[in-house]
A and B are shown apart, each in its own frame.
Chain A
Amino acid sequence: MSTYPANYWYTREHEWVRVEGEIGTVGITFHAQKELGDIVYVEMVKVGSQAEMGKRIGEVESVKAVSDIFSPVSGEVLEVNAALTDAPEILNQDPHGAGWLARIRMSAPEELGRLMSAADYEAYLGEET
C-alpha cells in the first residue's frame, strides 16, 4: 500500500502533477511503476517542446512492457529528469519524489480542474482492480 500525496493531482492514465506556482512537476504513480515492473529506460520529449494535456510526452520501458506517458497539463517543458538516464530504477524506488519526469510551465492552470484528487484516484484504483 502506498499513500498518494494529497497535494498532487492525478490522471486516469496514472500520471501525477505537483503544482508550485506556475510550474507543474509531473511523473507516474506508484501503481503505474508497479504494473510496469523494473523500469529499464525512460525517454522524454526535448526540453523546450510544448506539452499538451492528454498528449504523449514520453515513454517508460520495462523488461516486459512499454508505456506512453501522457502529460497531465499543457505548457512548455522546462526540464526533464536527467538522473533517470543512468538510474531508471529511481522511478521504481520513489515514483512520487526523486522519480519525477518533467517540469512544465503550465499554460492553462484551469486544466487542473479536470484531474482527480488523491482520494478520487485511490477510489479509481479500487474500481480498476
Chain B
Amino acid sequence: MRYLPKSEAERGQMLAACGLASAEDLFAHLPPATRLRRPLALDPGKSEYEVVDYFRARAAENLTGCPCFLGAGAYFHYRPVLVDTVVSRGEFLTSYTPYQAEISQGTLTAIFEFQTMLCQLTGMDAANASMYDGSTAVPEAAMMAARITGRRGVVAARTLHPEYRAVLETYARNRVLAVQVCGYCPGSGRLDLEDLERKVTDGTAAVIVQSPNFFGIIEDLRAAADLAHRQGALLVWVFTEAVALGLLAPPADADIVAGELQSFAIAPSFGGPYAGVLAAKERYMRQLPGRLVGETKDARGHRAYCLTLAAREQHIRREKATSNICTNQALVALMATVFMTVYGKQGLRELAEQNLAKAHYLAEKLPLRFTGPFFNEFVAEARNRPPEALNAALLARKLIGGLPLGRFYPELAGSMLLCATETSPREAMDAVAEEFSRE
C-alpha cells in the first residue's frame, strides 16, 4: 500500500530485531475474545484515480456553481487565491499544534497576528486562537460569563441563529445554566428591549445578542448592554457574518464576543470546518478558554511566540479546566488571516460596502417583512405563492433562492431569508425580483 514505507524485507528485519517471527506475534497477548476473525467489510483499497472518480461523482450530485441567495450563517464570498496557496504549504498543512515553540514559530506568529486582527475588528483586548465555530463559541461565552459572575442565568435573543440557540441549550442543560429566550419586535425585527428588561435579573450571567441578527438586522447593542450591566450581567455580542465588521462599529459595551469567521475565505463546505471567534475585555482574559498565543523572548533575546496561560486548559487543570477544548481551528483560522491580509484595512471596508449595495439593490424590489436596518441579509415576504414554490421557479432558472423561515419561525412561514453578497450578479437579482412579483 503506497502510504506504507516498508518492504517485506524490512518488516522481516524489524521483527527479527524484536525477537518475533511474524506480525501476528505483536498481537499474541490480546485475549482471543477481543480479536476480529474476519477482514473488515470494506471495499478493497482504491487507486488515486478511483478515489477522484468517486468524489467527482458525488460533487456532481450537489447543485453548486449557480447564483445562490442563501446566507443564514454560511456565506458566499470570493476567496482570494493567496489563501489556498498559503494553507496548502506542507509546513502549515501538516504541522502539529505548536507546543514546541522553537520549531513552530510560523504557526505561532500567524496565530498572534490572527488574535491581534480580531481584537482590532471587534474592539476587544484579547482573542483566543479560535473555537470550533460560531455555534460552539456561544455556549463557551455563556460558561465564561457564568464563571466570571458566579451566576447561572442566560438570556438569549430569539433573533440569535436558531441552530446556535439549540447548541446553547444542549450545553446549558448539563452545566446547569438556565436559558431564557427574549422575543423580537414584529415590526422592526429587532430584539424586544422591554422583554429583555423583564427577563434580566440579578441572577443573569449573560445577555446574548447577535448583530446583525439572524434576520440580517442590526441590533441596538448599546441599549441591550445597558440593561445587562444595570443588573451586573455581561453582554455577549454574537456575529455570523464577519464581513459586516468592515463597516459596522463594534459595540464598545460588549464584554465578550463570540462569532463565526466563515465569511473570511472559508468555503461553505456543507457546514464545516469553520472557525469561531472568542474575544473579551482585558479583565476577563484569564477566563478565556481555548488556546492563546503570547509574545515573549527566546534565550538569545529575540522576539518569539508561544502558547501561554495553558494552566487554564484541560491538559493541566483537568476537571477544573475552563473548558474541555483541545483543538483550535488553526488551518481554517489561517485562511481567515490570509483573507484579512489580502483585503486589509481599505479592502474590508470596500467589500462591506459592496455587500451593502448588492443586498439593498435586491431588497428594494421585494416586499420586506421588517423595518429595521440591515446589512447583506433581509427577510422578504412571498406574497403571491409559498416560498417553496418561489424557490422551485427560481431553480428552473438555475438560481437558488433564500431560506424559507417556517422551519425555524412558524410565524414567518410565508417569508424567506435572502442574502446578497459581492458575488451576486445583477441579472440574477433582477430574476429573483421578477419571480417574487409573478403570480
A and B touch in their complex, CB below 8 angstroms:
yes
Q: Using CB atoms and an 8 Å cutoff, list the residues of chain A in contact with chain B.
A: 40-41, 61-66
Do residues A65 and B316 form an inter-chain contact, with CB atoms below 8 A? yes
B398 contacts the other chain (Cβ, under 8 Å)? no
Task: Give the shortest distance, in Å, between A91 (CB) and chain B (any CB).
Answer: 15
Min CB–CB distance B300 → chain A (angstroms): 19
Count of B residues near A, CB < 8 Å? 7
Q: Are B316 and A41 in contact (CB under 8 A)?
A: no
A61 to B311, CA, bound (A): 7
Give bound CA distance, A8 to B316, whole Å: 31
Taking the closest CB of chain A, its distance from the CB of B245, in whole angstroms, is 32
* Contact of B310 with A by CB under 8 A: yes
Contact call B316/A64, Cβ cutoff below 8 A: yes
Distance A65 CA – B309 CA, assembled complex (angstroms): 10
**Contact in complex: B316, A66 (CB < 8 Å):** yes
Q: How far is the CB of A70 from chain B (nearest CB, A)?
A: 14
Which residue of B has the minimal Cβ distance to A68? B320
What 1/0 mask marks residues of chain B from 320 to 364 whose CB sits below 8 Å from any chain A CB? 100000000000000000000000000000000000000000000
Given contacts A40-B311, A62-B311, A64-B311, 14 further A-B contacts (CB under 8 A): A41-B286, A41-B311, A61-B311, A63-B310, A63-B311, A64-B310, A64-B316, A65-B311, A65-B316, A66-B311, A66-B312, A66-B316, A66-B317, A66-B320
Distance from A66 Cβ to chain B, minimum over Cβ atoms (Å): 5
What residues on A are CB-neighbors of B320 within 8 Å?
66
15 pairs, CB–CB < 8 Å, chain A vs chain B: A40-B311, A41-B286, A41-B311, A61-B311, A62-B311, A63-B310, A64-B310, A64-B311, A64-B316, A65-B316, A66-B311, A66-B312, A66-B316, A66-B317, A66-B320
| Interface bits B295-327 vs A (CB < 8 Å: 1, else 0) | 000000000000000111000110010000000
For A41, list chain B residues within 8 Å (CB). 286, 311
Residues of chain B within 8 A (CB-CB) of A65 are 311, 316
Which residues on B sit within 8 Å (CB–CB) of A64? 310-311, 316
Assembly CA distance A65 to B317 (angstroms): 7
Name which residue of chain B comes closest to A43, CB basis.
B286
Q: Give the residues in chain A near B310, CB-CB below 8 Å.
A: 63-64
For the complex, give the distance between the alpha carbons of A40 and B316 in Å. Answer: 14
The closest CB in chain A to the CB of B318 belongs to A66
